[in-house]
Amino acid sequence: MYKGKVILVTGGTGSFGKKFVRRILKGDVKKVIVFSRDELKQYEMKHEFIDSRMRFFIGDVRDKDRLYRAFDGVDIVIHAAAMKHVEACEYNPFEAVKTNIHGAQNVIEAAIDRGVEKVIALSTDKAASPVNLYGATKLASDKLFVAANSYVGEKPTRFSVVRYGNVVGSRGSVVPFFKKVRETGRIPITDPRMTRFWITLDQGVQFVLDSLDRMHGGEIFVPKIPSMNIMNLAKAIAPECDIDIVGIRQGEKLHEAMIMEDDARHTREFDTYYVIQPEFSWWSKKQQNEGKALPNGFKYTSDTNTEWLSINQLKDLVREM
C-alpha cells in the first residue's frame, strides 16, 4: 500500500508523529514529509531520524498557501496537528478555532486541489458529546472531514477520521505529570471516580495504518480499547504517595465517550473496532453490509466499557514508557 508513496504528517514532531514516522520508514515509502511549526523540534527530529527519505517543512495548518506548497506530489496525508490541551483551548478559544477548525478546512482544500489520494485526520474521544472547546473544535473538524468526501466532486481524494482515547505517555498527559509530582509525596486527583479510555502510541499508529487500508471515505474509525480508573493509575505509578482530591478542572468530564446513542444508529461493529458511517450515501456500497449493527441504546463510554486495565497492567504500561 505504501510502496513508492509520498506521505506527509501535519504536526509530525509530536508524540504520535514521531512514532508514526519511525514506523513508516521501516517500509518502502518514497518520501516522508514532516509538516510542523516548531523549528527546534524539527531540528532535534532531523538529527534523530537519519534517513534520506525524510523532508521537513516549517509551516502552520492555518496557512493555506504553505499547505498547497507542502502537499505538492503527496499521496497520503496524516493530519495530526492540533491544539489539544483542554485548558489551553478554554483560555485561548479563538486560537483553538483557528488551528482545529480553520486548519482542518485548509488541509481539506489543499488535499483536494493537490490531488492527494487519502487523508486520515486524528480525532479524540472528547469530540463525542463535547463539554469543552477542544472537544467542540474536534467535533467540527470531524464533521468537515466526513463531509469533504461530498465536497471533492469528481476528484479522487478520500477523507476519513480516526477517533481514540488518551495516549499513554504522550506529551502533557497524566503519566509524566504523576511521575514528576510523586517526588513531593502527594498525588493530586481531580475525582476518584474518573475513568478514561487508554491506548499506547504503538497501538494508535497501528490503528491509523489499518484504517488507511480499510477506508473508503467518510468513516470515523473507533478502536476497541480498555478503560482505566484514575485511582488505579495513581496506585500503579506512586503507591507510596498520599492523595489530594482537587476537584474536576474547567472543561473536564468525569467519563469520556467515543460513540453516543445517536451515532450508534449508523455504526457497525467489527472484532477489534467500530465504524461510524457517514449519514450521506457511501462512495462504496461494500462497507455498509459488513460488520454488525449495534443494539438500540448502545453507547461506548469509558465507565461502561467491558475491558479494564488492572493496577498490574497499568504498571507494565508505565514501565515500558
Q: Which amino acids are annotated catalytic? A: 126
307 phi and psi angles, rounded to 5 deg: -120, 130
Contact between residue 201 and residue 168 where contact means Cβ atoms under 8 Å apart: yes
Residue 109: CB atoms within 10 Å:
16
Q: How many residues does the chain have?
A: 321
| Cα angle 113, 114, 120; round to 5 | 95
Nearest to 166 by CA among 276, 300, 256, 232: 256
Separation of alpha carbons 174 and 230, rounded Å: 9
Which run of H or of E encompasses 261?
helix 261-264
Separation of alpha carbons 67 and 106, rounded Å: 7
